[in-house]
Each structure stands twice: as C-alpha cells, then as structure tokens.
Amino acid sequence: MYQWVPKINSPEDLKKVPREKLPEVAKEYRKLLIETVAKTGGHLGTSLGALELNIALHYVFASPKDKICWDVGHQAYVHKMITGRKDRMSTLRQYGGISGFPSPEESPHDHFIVAHAGTAISQALGLAIARDHKGGNEKIIAVVGDGSLTSGLAYEALNNAGHLRPEMLVILNDNEWSISKNVGAISKYLNKIITNPLYNRIRGEVERQLDRFPRLRRFATASLESMKHLLVPGILFEELGFRYFGPIDGHDIIGLVDTLSKIKKIKELCFLHILTQKGKGVEWAEKDAERLHGVTPFDVKTGAKIKTPEEEAKSKLEGISYTKAFVKSLIQLAHEDRRIVAITAAMPSGTGLADFQKEFPDRFFDVGIAEQHAITFAGGLAKGGLKPVCAIYSTFLQRSQDQLIHDVALQKLGIVIAMDRAGLVGADGATHNGVFDISYLGHIPGTAIAAPRDEAEILQMLKIGLNYPGIFALRYPRGNVPKFYEQFPVKEFGVGEGEILREGSDVALLALGSMIEVAYRAAQILAQEGVEARVASLRFAQPLDEKLLLETAKKTRFLFTLEEHNLTGGLGTKVLEFFERQESSQEVTIHRFALPDQFIEHGSRELLLDHFGLSAEKVANQVLHRIKAPSTRLAITEELA
C-alpha cells in the first residue's frame, strides 16, 4: 500500500528518495494524513494545503540545524511525520499523545510552540540575528500561512526584518485569498529568471560595478525598478527590503524543490510566495475549505462526522451550542437596535458571527487576525455612538491587553466582548485553553465579567452588556448547553446579581458558569452523605453579589468556590479578597476549586476536569474531607486540594 512512507523516519531518510519520485511520496503522505486525521480529528485543510511544502523543505534544508518556524503550526502535520513522529500520529491531540501543533518537548525539529498566528517572522528574525551574532551558518525559514499576514505582529516583523536584512527566508503559503492574480506563464517565466543562479551572479556583479558610478546607478535603478513595478507581483515585499520570488504552484513538489534549492544559495533576505489549496486531495474538503480547517473524526469518503456511543449519549443531554445561543440572541437584539454591530478577528464561523453577517452584512466587521485592532476599533465605534460586540476566543483576546486598558476602559467606552471557548477546550490544548481571562480582565477598573449557564442567561446578559458603561465580558465554554438547566426557571437579574439554586446550611458551593452543573450534582451526592449544601450561581466573577456572599457566610462557615479557570486571579481569589475587606470578625473557611496554575495539555474536557478534581464526584469527596478535618482557624483561610 505504501512504498516510500514506511522508509522515512527522518529528514535524512527523505533525502534518499530520488527527486523524480517525490510526487509519489507526496501522494502517500496525503493518503496517510487523511486516514490519520479521520480517526483523531485535527486541522486537516491547512495540512493538506501545505503538504508538498513540508516535504520540499525537509528535502532541501538540513533540519534541525536549519530552523523552520511554522506560523500557524497546524500546517505542520507532515513535518511531524517526516521528523520521526509518524508512528505516534494515532495519538494526535489525544490525552498523553502528541500535540496538534509544533512542540519543542516532542522533537528538536520543533523550535517553538506555535498555535497563535503571526509569530513566525518575529521568531525567525530573532533566530537569524542570534545566528549572525554567534557566527553561525544555519538557514532560517519562516512559513507564514492561513491568513497570518492579516496580523499586525507579522507586519511589524516584516518591517524590522527589512531594516536589519539578515539572511533568512520567509515563505508565504497563500491558500485563502489572492495577493496576486498574475499566476500563469509570465509569472512562471519571471520566477525562472529571478531564481536562476547565473542571473543572480550577474545582478550582484552589476550592482557592485554600479557603485563606482553613482549617477548611472540612480538611473539604472530607477529604470529597472519601474519595469519591476509592472511585472513583479511582490513589489510590496521588495520595497520592504526582501528579494521576492513567485508566486509559484505550491503543489508542484518538483518545482518547489528546484526553487528552494536556488533560493538557498542566495545569501540575502528572501520572500517566496507559493499558492496552495486548502483541503487539496479531498474533493469535499476542496469545496468547503473553511469546514475542513479543524475537524473531529470523520468518514473519509463523505466527510460526515463520526460520533462515539459516548458522544451520542451525551448529545441527547445537550441543547444548542453556546456559540449558537450567543449569535441567536445577538441577532434578536440587533433587530431591535440598529446601533448594534459585530466584530470578529478572522473567526466568523468559529464565533457564530457568520450567521449575523448574513442577517446584517453592513453591520458586521471581520478585521482579520488582529485582536488588538478589533478592540481599539470597537472603542472607536462606541465613541461614535454604536454598540459594538466583539466575539473573540478567550485565548486570542489575551493579545489585546493594552487596548482593553488604554483604548477602552480608560476612555470609559462601552463594548461587549463575547469570549468563546472560555475554559478547557479539549484537543487544542495549552495554547487554546481559555483559563486566564478572569485574571487578565479582572484587574481592569469598571470591567464586568459574566458567565451564563444557558441560552436564557446569554440573552439577558447581552441586554445588560449592551447598555453597560464599560467593558462587559461574557465568558462561555466550548460545547453545548446542558439540558440539565431546563429545570430552573428563567429569572431577570442585574449586573453582579447571583441566584440561589439549592438551599442547605452545612456548606455552600459558589459556582460560576460551566461549574454550576458540577456544583449542583456534587450537592446531590453530599445529600446522600447527610450533608446539605447551598448551591449559588454567582453569574458574575466581577462585580460579585456581595449581599449573597454575606448572607451565605451567615448560614455556614464552609464556603467552596468552583470555576473552570486558573486558580490565581479567578473567582475564588475575588471571593477571598472580598471577605478580606470585611471588618466583621465572623469565622469563615474558604476553599477554592479551580484549575492549577500551569499550562494544561490536550485531552477531553471531562477527563481533564476529573483529573484536576473538578468533577462532581471529586468535588463532593473533597468537601466531605474538608468539613470533617479539624480546624482551629478563626479567620479567613484559603485552601487548595
């Protein structure tokens, strides 16, 4: 079935393959990639698009001495296979398995953890300057794709690279939008000329000779550059200081190898533009590249999602996704108020705003991978009298810290931030877990942080947020709304107002958002042990329902906070700080259930919650242990399991 792939366990093995056989190698890797991701899930579309590039890079360069910086890392699945991880691909994105992104802990061929866009050029530039400082001779390559050039960080790096001009190569994997239309015979001919070694030797010699005649050099340069403006599609990059090559067919592996081999000999700052197709080699993927950006296990022939019996059983207990509930509520409110506008940072489908765009195309803005700009832009919209709603994943919002503080909060502008994927996200792991947002938003004056339990609360919180005079952050998890919440009646509430869902006088479980169901089920387990627990849905991490907290502390001295967030700076920290400010000498013991202060790797949400003591059973067991343990403390205490 496979002739070449079984023999390739390192870049050195790949180099033994005859050049003319590389198309066969690419065909085998494409088949293996599809079969693998069909079982594990993953970022299939981009990996298929960059497949030939992965092979060509390792065929031409000498990794790990030569350093390949990926941006974003989900282009690099075949890179993983070539660099000795082929046999572990069945564990891709699984708990205890290999990451869906490059990871230096896995291989010396991976130089950075890369899962957020826009980083590769900056990282490669740093490596190139460090190499020159130490007198090294390794090649440095940055592979930029999947819309990364919409990131401001990428342009900052391009600008700085053009100023410093070290020897390095930036490869643009252009697979979604056309920077240049002139792809055909002329561009192929131009590329053939400008990568020709003889041409480059002549060009270099002519430039050196012209240095002796400044006036002639100015005339020659002006004439040649004017002609280049007419013919060369990458003049922007030339003006920034790069030698531009391309665009070329990124699926012509022989052509790629030839071009890279020629550029490798050019000791300058170079830029290679290749054109690829997301989902290349899978008919249904080619027709719907966005759908294949990230996938769960699927049927190879049809692309239909495959669910395990456990997933099927779970789906029967769930309603619509939190993302769908958010955009459904936003559309409803936007029909009532035309001042409402929506912003996303290159994630219209992931955030659900593609549906808003269909309904209100003139009130929707996709700013690209530019979260900083999204927030400042939203501030400008608010200043202009509109009501902006920014839908950005919790993990990506991290990038906009200065803009949140300086451009919005300090200006006293009202914007809503819908933080999708707050909490654990599963297979994407440490780079995508949204477990820092309460801490990085909670220190900003005037910021409200809300966590809805269901669709009704999303609607109510959006209504509040759209009229809030500051930053109003709505954090909700990846996944569907549990039908569990249907038992609780819908109630109106205001900013910072919580709700008691279950009465009890022995202990109190103070839960936020996704942890409410865990707290309630833990209370039911405790009841079987003769312990009655009061369960409160705080709804807000900031501001807190102070009245509810003081009232609860009078009923029981054992308070337990539950949150799907890191321990430091989260809900529990805020509850501790609140009681610390109280002048009362009332005795109260506070225990925090939260995620540890560490980067949490990939694995299913349920498995990770249980592992870190946040399942209903483990919460109940810890509560029993804590209340039975002797304590002589008379002041506020904090404890962590």
> Cα–Cα distances in Å, from 381 out to 20, 243, 363, 366, 386?
56, 39, 11, 14, 5
Is residue 217's pLDDT more than 80?
no
The answer, yes or no, to whether residue 195 has pLDDT greater than 70, is: no
pLDDT tier at 1 (50, 70, 90 boundaries)? confident
Label residue 280 by pLDDT band (50, 70, 90).
confident
Q: Nearest CA to 623 among 512, 477, 504? A: 504
pLDDT at residue 171, rounded to an integer: 95
pLDDT digits (tens, 9 = 90+) for 114-135: 888 889 999 999 999 999 999 9
Contact at 8 Å (CB) between 229 and 254?
A: no
* CB count in 10 Å sphere of residue 574: 22
CB 507 within 8 A of CB 627: yes
pLDDT in the model for residue 219 = 55
What is the predicted pLDDT for the residue at 257? 97
- The pLDDT assigned to 256 comes to 96
pLDDT (mean) for 612-624: 96
- pLDDT range class, residue 101, cuts 50, 70, 90: confident
Region 595-616 average pLDDT: 94
Q: How far apart are CA 367 and CA 373, in angstroms?
A: 8
User: Looking up tokens 């912003």, which residue turns up?
Assistant: 343
Cβ burial of 490 (10 Å; 0-12, 13-18, 19+) is exposed
Please state which of the ranges 83-92, 147-156, 558-567 shows the lowest mean pLDDT: 147-156
- Tell whether omega for the bond before 348 is within 30 degrees of 0, i.e. cis: no
Whether the per-residue pLDDT at 188 is higher than 50: the answer is yes
Instruction: Work out the mean pLDDT of the chain and round it to a whole number.
Output: 87
Mean pLDDT of the region 602-623: 95
- Quickly state the pLDDT bin for 178 (edges 50, 70, 90): very low
Kindly indicate the confidence band of residue 282, based on its pLDDT and cuts at 50, 70 and 90: confident
Which one-letter amino acid corresponds to residue 540? Answer: F
Q: Distance between CA atoms of 90 and 234, rounded to whole angstroms?
A: 40
What is the percentage of the chain residues whose pLDDT exceeds 70? 83
User: What angle (nearest 5°) sits at the alpha carbon of residue 136, between those of residues 134 and 141?
Assistant: 115
Domains by residue range for the chain, with CATH: 5-180+233-287 (3.40.50.970), 318-484 (3.40.50.970), 498-640 (3.40.50.920)
pLDDT digits (tens, 9 = 90+) for 303-330: 666 666 666 666 677 889 999 999 999 9
- Burial of 14 (C-beta count, 10 Å sphere; 0-12/13-18/19+): buried
Burial of 359 (0-12, 13-18, 19+ CB in 10 A): middle
* 226 pLDDT above the threshold of 60: no
Give the per-residue SS3 of 342-391: EEECCCCCCCCHHHHHHHCHHHEEECCCCHHHHHHHHHHHHHCCCEEEEE
Tell which wins on pLDDT, 438 or 204.
438
User: Looking at the predicted structure, is the pLDDT value of residue 225 above 60?
Assistant: no
**Which pLDDT does position 279 carry in this prediction?**
75
The predicted structure's pLDDT at residue 92: 86
Stretch 156-164: mean pLDDT: 94
**Three-class secondary structure of residue 469 per DSSP:** coil
- pLDDT band, residue 300 (cuts 50/70/90): low
Q: What are 559-568's pLDDT values in tens digits? A: 999 999 999 9
Query: Is the pLDDT confidence value at 285 over 80?
Result: no
Give φ, ψ of 616 to 5 degrees: -60, -40
Q: How much is the pLDDT for 287?
A: 60
Residues with a catalytic annotation lie at 278, 371, 399
- What percent of the chain has a predicted confidence (pLDDT) above 90? 65
Q: Is the pLDDT of residue 635 over 90?
A: no
Lowest mean pLDDT among 221-230, 477-486, 526-535: 221-230
pLDDT at 554 over 60: yes
Residue 360 above 80 pLDDT?
yes
**pLDDT (tens digit per residue) in 390-417:** 999 999 999 999 999 999 999 999 999 9
Of the two residues 251 and 628, the one the predictor is more confident about is 251
Confirm if 344 and 368 have CB atoms less than 8 A apart.
no
Which residue would you say has higher pLDDT here, 300 or 596? 596
| pLDDT in the model for residue 518 | 98
pLDDT value of residue 201: 62
* 9, 482, 497, 524, 561 from 518: Cα distances, Å: 45, 11, 20, 10, 11
DSSP 595: E
Q: What is the pLDDT of residue 200?
A: 60
The pLDDT of residue 57 is above 70: yes
